[in-house]
Amino acid sequence: MTRKYNFSAGPAALPEDVLFRAQSELLDWQGQGLSVMEMSHRSPEYVSVAKKAESDLRELMNIPDNYQVLFMQGGATSQFSMIPMNLMGNNVSADYINTGDWSSKAIKEAKRYIQVNVAGSSEDSNFTAVPAQDELQLDSNAAYVHYTPNETIRGVEFDYIPETGDVPLVADMSSNILSGPIDVSRFGMIYAGAQKNIGPAGLTVVIIRDDLLQAPVDKTPTLFSYKAIADADSMLNTPPTFGWYLAGLVFEWLQAQGGVPAMDKLNDLKASKLYSYIDNSDFYTNPVDIAVRSRMNVPFILAKPELDKLFLTEATSAGLLNLAGHRSVGGMRASIYNAVPEAAVDALIEFMQDFAVTHG
């Protein structure tokens, strides 16, 4: 079998070492005679898997003791509803910063539960920039401030963490969690779908400060209550056990690579290589403001859009997979998450060079 380079935005590439480890344990986990998928989530064996995964994530991200780590289902999109349900309290409004498709979706869903103040938006630039701190119209009485640090579809990443005073800051880090160091204490809550930098689809990680674990609004389903889930150690019902286990293997792999600081350096290197080639090419362009280009998701446009289909066909033949841009924006997109090796970026650049020479 020949592995190819996977540039998918999610479900995304997983480290080969993790896949081999999971393969070796698939039928017999540590001499127990069964797979992790077949274990009771309440068995001592599985509880040890879950506890180690949480411990390793806490170490990787330096998560303070006054934060709970929840392993949940429903994808990051389910959090769009759960956040206002759990965090609105007696407040009537929340602030949202709109910098792309995912923050727009979060806003649309939140409006079903709470009054939304769009405190800043880059819609007028077609989401190729982010509003500066001094442009944000923040309400000191808001229940929380929500933003998306990295917008997967359009390849925009904040170059700063918004200052929100005493109002809790909530961040959808689905596509950039663990890609570089962050100060968790600056956030009230961080959430992330696993399928980009953590593990397979089906698992969502929530990191939430203890004081925000309050009773949700009336008639909130029990399984949507952060407090109820935290009180049950993320086992209020049967969790996505295999996804949790695989996430734990990814955390171990990250530690073996040198942790988040090592990923930060590697991600800088990969992104700088790809952007440098694009910027020095007369065949490819990137539409995003240089200051806020994503290190995780690199969109690019061909000088001749009529060649898009041929580019994708030849890229697939060359072993470079899932380079099509999101259906809403077109063009190309290379997602270069933690598990995508530097060699994949080198191979992509070489292919892009050859394609430009042949078809330019």
Phi-psi bin for 331: left (phi > 0), alpha (psi -120 to 50), beta?
left
DSSP 10-31: SS----HHHHHHHHHHSS-STT
Q: Which residue of the set 172, 244, 253, 270 is catalytic?
A: 172
How many C-beta neighbours within 10 Å does residue 258 have?
A: 12
Q: Is 172 a catalytic site residue? A: yes
How many C-beta neighbours within 10 Å does residue 170 have?
A: 27
| Residue 119, φ and ψ in degrees, nearest 5 | -75, -15
User: 268 is written with which tokens?
Assistant: 């800088």
Say what angle helices 75-87 and 101-110 make with each other, to 10 degrees: 40
Q: Is 102 a catalytic site residue? A: yes
What is the SS3 assignment for 20? helix
| Cβ pair 314, 354 in contact under 8 A | no
Q: Which residue of the set 56, 95, 102, 244 is catalytic?
A: 102
Q: Which residue of the set 29, 56, 95, 196 is catalytic?
A: 196
Residues designated catalytic:
102, 172, 196
